[in-house]
Amino acid sequence: MSGRVAIVDVAQTKHGAPYIRNLTVSDLVYIVVKELLEKTGISIEDLETIITSSSDFWQGSGCSNVFYFDAAGAYLKDSPKVEEDSALGFVYAFMRILSGHFDKALIVAVTKCSEAPSISDITSLNSDPFYQRPVGIEEVTAAGLQAQQYVSRYKLSDEIRAEIAVKNYRNAINNPYAHRRMNLTIDEVLGSEILAYPLRRLEVADGSDGAVAVLISSEEAARKLTDTPVWIRGVGWSVDHYFLGDRDLLEVVSLREASERAYKMSGIRYPRKQIDLAEVCETSTVQELLWYEGLGFCNRGEGWKLIADGVTGMYGELPVNPSGGVLATNPYVARGLIRVAEATLQLKGEAGRRQVPDAETAIAHSTHGAAGSHHTVIVLGR
Amino acid sequence: MRKVAIVGVGQTRCGRRDDVSFPELVHEAVKEALEDARLDIKDIEAFITGSMPAPMSGINAPHLYWADAVGAYRKPIIRVATCGTTGGSIAHTGYYHVASGLFDVVMVVGAEKMYEGDPQGVMTTIWDYRYERPFLAGAPGVFAMQAMEYIHRYNFTLEEVAEAAALLSVKHHLAALDNPYAHIKQEITVEDVLRSRIVAYPIRLLDICPISDGACAVILASEDKARKITDTPVWIKGLGYCGDEQLLADKDLVWWLSAVKAAQKAYKMAGIENPVKQIDVAEVYNPFTYQELTFYECFGFCSRGEAVKLVKEGFFNKDGQLPTDPSGGVLCTNPIGATGLQRIAEAALQVMGRAGKRQIPAVETAFAHAMGGSYSLNSVFILSRSK
């Protein structure tokens, strides 16, 4: 590999905000790309490649990237689209810089969930039409099956689950970009209706509208563009079996694989000690615990202890989702790149009221697929 | 910069494939590619997959549905989708996987099962929903506008261009007879083309590609690995990708800037100054005969407005100066998510000298193209026997 790659800067919309409903997908893309170019002081002519990330199903258009191609500034540029998970768009851009063919790359991701059917409806189309779709397997029901398995295997209490939701919605209050910013009690979470037993409405990530853009560059270019580059230290991504019945939903093998690859590349041996904060992609409360385990923050079945002991709270030893995470903000395909953007703001020391003090190393994690079948782990450092 | 080579290709028989499910179809291509490169699935470090807009096959995030069929369990897999250009885009993605130094051997897989969906319905959703979708259906209508624009730009008569288009159709249909993977295998005459029914004036049925079910897989490797895997690595000497605006009225569809620039980028990287002299065979993405004429001009195979004359002279025939689409091209086989990758696989086979009855003699350098989006995305590869 040739040299180091840095994140220069990031930009995001105020996700799920009322003003966004009147804007098109192209408008959202344009807003974040323009803001990022202004922030970094480069012009669109300085960029040769723009990696976009969106979903044709979510956008209701074939070739969703073509629709906002001009808005992304991609006219007459090398601009492909990575589907379903913008964290993968980020790793593709990273590979392009590593190759030495490009010295700068912009990644932009967008989804307007308000213009699409529900997450359950769209993700039921992720299920094959023969076995899984007819019995109602989609993101929410799969998360419910996974949660129930966790509850029965590890005797997880309702209160711990609710505390995760309380933590994330409360953290979101400090995040001006977050969608659902709420100060809730455990009783309020447990009092919301059941969506997929045992998960309740406030334990499951609903959709948002939003866009996010990230500029990365070679070390040489980064030194000229910013005083606070954030280095990409390691990446890993991996997939599990497709059929839920073929998987132990609590083993999260693809997350273990992805994190091992990212840790190996970045020289991380003791994640809990060496990582200062993590932005994870929890589509349900129980998934946040599973991701702790898969990321090696604790042993199997012990994720709940990190919540009980406040380890992953805002003032804990390893804060997780100081932004409020995906429960608070979920513009579906953009959510992975938002994790990268939030981790970057933390390492730059620009996270405002959600800032974790002295953050040196952070993780951005993303997942898509039923019960977290595909995972991406990105290690960032100052 | 790290060199990247193609070390194996796999294609399925294309056509209506009711005998297999979508993952089974993909698996066929993967298995073929592994056998071709004499590799085991364990040797593949990462997978790059793609297809048309996922609604084409009615499954969202199809890379997850394919994951076990391609053998990606616990390995990196990514989905890149850019409509018709997908086959080119995933090959680009595979190239950067290896060129980055993160991986040494990766597999690129493209597939489509179009008979299970409503292809023209899905393609209608590519057009902008405010201005264009209300009066554009599917693909042929736009191709027709493009054809008319071409005819008027260079003051041709319709008959002159229709004859050249028909000659191309006859040539590709004849070539497809030699391609065991091709879908439409039918010997036709110029009169058959000119008498076939009009789909969108002036485009006739035999000027148009079919819909197909099919899959294609290509294995890419770093220089060290490539030399160990095969005696005939095919080097990716140049690659280019370029996108134009979405709205049709905003762009020139006769002198396509995205096609011109994609080719220029690839030529520059590969050191090609005179395409006709330096390229031995070209696999052009040619879903419509009239459109193919514009591509020849954009790629510098001839000057502007000259393609009609050269087609009539046999310039692009199998024994001509620059043979195009000896596979029969997209016109005879079109599983869209795989189609662009088939161009690369076919070009690679030509360079390896293993293209069977469709082999062009002594191919040193080959050209492979893909097009998609709202006639806005173009990808070009230059493959060569030498580094």
DSSP notation for B197-211: PEEETTEEGGGB---
Could you report the per-residue pLDDT of A17-38, keeping only the tens digit for each? 999 989 999 999 999 999 999 9
Q: What is the CATH number of the domain that holds B10?
A: 3.40.47.10
In a domain, B251, yes or no: no
Candidates B2, B27, B45, B65: best to mutate against A (most CBs of A within 10 A) is B65
**Phi-psi label, residue B299: left if phi above 0, alpha if psi -120 to 50, beta otherwise:** alpha
Inform me whether the pLDDT recorded for A60 exceeds 60. yes
pLDDT at position B135 is 80
pLDDT at position A2 is 53
Q: What is the mean pLDDT of residues A229-253?
A: 98
**DSSP-based three-state secondary structure for A321:** coil
What range does the domain containing B43 cover?
4-119+211-229
Could you report the per-residue pLDDT of A178-207, keeping only the tens digit for each? 999 999 999 999 999 999 999 999 999 999
Output A1 or B206, whichever has higher pLDDT. Answer: B206
Contact A236, A91 (CB under 8 A): no
In a domain, B367, yes or no: no
Burial of B228 (0-12, 13-18, 19+ CB in 10 A): exposed
**What's the distance, CA A89 to chain centroid?**
12
In a domain, B27, yes or no: yes
Q: How many domains does chain B have?
A: 1
Question: What's the complex ipTM?
Answer: 0.98
User: Which residues of A fall within a CB distance of 8 Å from B251?
Assistant: none
Could you report the per-residue pLDDT of A209-225, keeping only the tens digit for each? 999 999 999 999 999 99
Contact B316, B171 (CB under 8 A): yes
Which residues lie across from A11 on neighbouring strands?
A213
> Which residues 207-246 of B have a C-beta within 8 angstroms of A?
240-246
Q: What angle do CA B36, B42, B46 make, to 5 degrees?
A: 90
Neighbours of A114 (CB within 10 A): 12
Neighbours of A301 (CB within 10 A): 16
| CA distance linking residue A294 with residue A285, whole number of Å | 15
Could you report the per-residue pLDDT of A62-78, keeping only the tens digit for each? 899 999 999 999 999 99
Token representation of residue B53: 């807009």
User: Which residues of B fall within a CB distance of 8 Å from A56?
Assistant: 53-55, 81, 125
In a domain, B114, yes or no: yes
> Which residues 259-298 of B have a C-beta within 8 angstroms of A?
261, 265
Radius of gyration of chain B (CA): 19
User: Which residues of B fall within a CB distance of 8 Å from A81?
Assistant: 80-82, 89
Contact B69, B26 (CB under 8 A): yes
| CA distance linking residue B334 with residue A329, whole number of Å | 40
Please tell me the CATH code under which domain A1-382 is placed. 3.40.47.10
pLDDT at position A354 is 98
Task: Return the domain boundaries, chain A.
Answer: 1-382
pLDDT of chain B, 387 residues: tens digit per residue: 999 999 999 999 999 999 999 999 999 999 999 999 999 999 999 999 999 988 888 899 999 999 999 999 999 999 999 999 999 999 999 999 999 999 999 999 999 999 998 999 999 999 988 888 888 878 888 889 999 999 999 999 999 999 999 999 999 999 999 999 999 999 999 999 999 999 999 999 999 999 999 999 999 999 999 999 999 999 999 999 999 999 988 899 999 999 999 999 999 999 999 999 999 999 999 999 999 999 999 999 999 999 999 999 999 999 999 999 999 999 999 999 999 999 999 999 999 999 999 999 999 999 999 999 999 999 999 999 998
